[in-house]
Amino acid sequence: MSMHTTSSNTVTSNDGYVNVRGFRLYYRIFSDEDGGRKGTIVCLHGGPGIPHNYILPLADLAKFGYRVVFYDQLGVGKSELPKNPALFTIENGVEELEAFRQAMHLGKIHLMGSSYGGLLAIAYALKYQRNLKTLITTGGLHSVPEVIAEMERMKSELPKNVLETMKKYEEQGDYENPEYVNAMMVFYKRHLCRLDEWPEELNYAIQNVSKPVYGTMNGPNEFTIIGNIRYWDVSDSLSKIKVPTLVTGGRYDEVSPKIARKIHKGIKGSKLVIFEKSSHLPMWEEREKYIETLRKFLEKHP
């Protein structure tokens, strides 16, 4: 395990690499001078394949006494990229998280997942909830088919010319065409991040998406899900999750509030918060309110 440390007003961060199931994974940890006495929060990025940088606002929780841990999943960001794309599955993601938790000696954790990370957090909870103190999802999902149906609905509400441009290039399979990319941005500005200026961490994460992971598991873009996760659906299993759960999302979320409400309904006793001015990234769009919401929930479950 290798690491180096940097510090700023009482919150310090260190990063490094850890060997997990035969591959090197990159991690980053933030904590205050007490080293996270209130517990450890592991934060799962989405994509699948989009590096952890875009969820870094969660490091704000370190100021309140938590140790906040991020890692780039296999094949993503600074983590090792294996040659075999068959390794990029939800099942492997669950085992990787469990092996990471053990390798880093994290003990019982609070688990937070954004987007696909929320799916992964739910999948982990279904197998390993004994290792969880709490579960938090933000724009997370329990059913990819339902998300696809909701995204199709949101797409249909885009301006006619944008839709026609999308259709044209989707039929040609030309997802890299600049005209298509511009049309895609219209959707993203409504349903991914509604800020006028996108934070550099988000731009960095999107520019550094792992195409092998994203392409294998998701597909060419956020609303064309043709990868190996496309039929994943645990609607009937949600009731098995008994840990305290906070389900969050944005009013304009590409993973629509309808999905968040179904997760909330499925997990007995869970709490639901929809951020009214946000889409998929309330940790940026309503940062203070978002962090405060998580903090209050975590304080109730020390």
CA angle, corner 246, sides to 244 and 247, nearest 5? 135
d(CA 267, CA 244): 9
What Cα–Cα distance (Å) separates residue 55 from each residue in 50, 162, 291? Answer: 10, 29, 12
Instruction: Record the tokens describing residue 258, joined without a space.
Output: 């309808």
Extents of the domains making up the chain: 2-299
pLDDT value of residue 173 = 87
pLDDT value of residue 176 = 87
pLDDT value of residue 225 = 87
- Selected residue with higher pLDDT from 237 and 175: 237
Q: Region 152-168: what's the mean pLDDT?
A: 95
Question: φ and ψ at 7, to 5 degrees?
Answer: -135, 150
Percent of the chain with pLDDT over 90: 90
Neighbouring CB atoms inside 10 A of 78's CB total 16
d(CA 46, CA 118): 7
Q: Do residues 169 and 177 touch, judged by C-beta distance below 8 A?
A: yes
Catalytic residue IDs? 115, 253, 280
pLDDT value of residue 9 = 55
d(CA 41, CA 108): 9
The three-class DSSP label of residue 70 is: strand
CA angle, corner 123, sides to 150 and 153, nearest 5? 5
pLDDT value of residue 33 = 84
Q: Do residues 285 and 252 touch, judged by C-beta distance below 8 A?
A: no
pLDDT value of residue 222 = 79
Q: Region 64-74: what's the mean pLDDT?
A: 97
pLDDT value of residue 178 = 93
pLDDT value of residue 1 = 44
> Of the given ranges (7-11, 30-34, 41-45), which has the lowest mean pLDDT?
7-11
Q: Is residue 5's pLDDT more than 90?
A: no
Chain-wide mean pLDDT for the chain? 95
CA angle, corner 180, sides to 175 and 181, nearest 5? 85
pLDDT value of residue 136 = 98
Q: Is residue 8's pLDDT more than 60?
A: no
Q: Is residue 295's pLDDT more than 60?
A: yes
Q: Is residue 296's pLDDT more than 60?
A: yes
Residue pLDDT, tens place only, 179-230: 999 999 999 999 999 999 999 999 999 999 999 999 999 998 877 889 999 9
Burial 232-256 (b: 16+ CB within 10 A, else e): bebeeebeebebbbbbbbbebbbbb
Residue pLDDT, tens place only, 230-284: 999 999 999 999 999 999 999 999 999 999 999 999 999 999 999 999 999 999 9
What Cα–Cα distance (Å) separates residue 38 from each residue in 71, 147, 239? Answer: 20, 34, 28
pLDDT range class, residue 36, cuts 50, 70, 90: confident
d(CA 275, CA 263): 16
d(CA 68, CA 36): 8
Q: Region 91-101: what's the mean pLDDT?
A: 98
d(CA 148, CA 141): 11
The residue among 127, 122, 124 whose CA lies nearest residue 137 is 122
pLDDT value of residue 7 = 45
Instruction: Record the tokens describing residue 163, joined without a space.
Output: 């839709």
The number of residues in the chain equals: 302
CATH architecture for the domain at 2-299: 3-Layer(aba) Sandwich (3.40)
The three-class DSSP label of residue 275 is: strand
d(CA 46, CA 72): 10
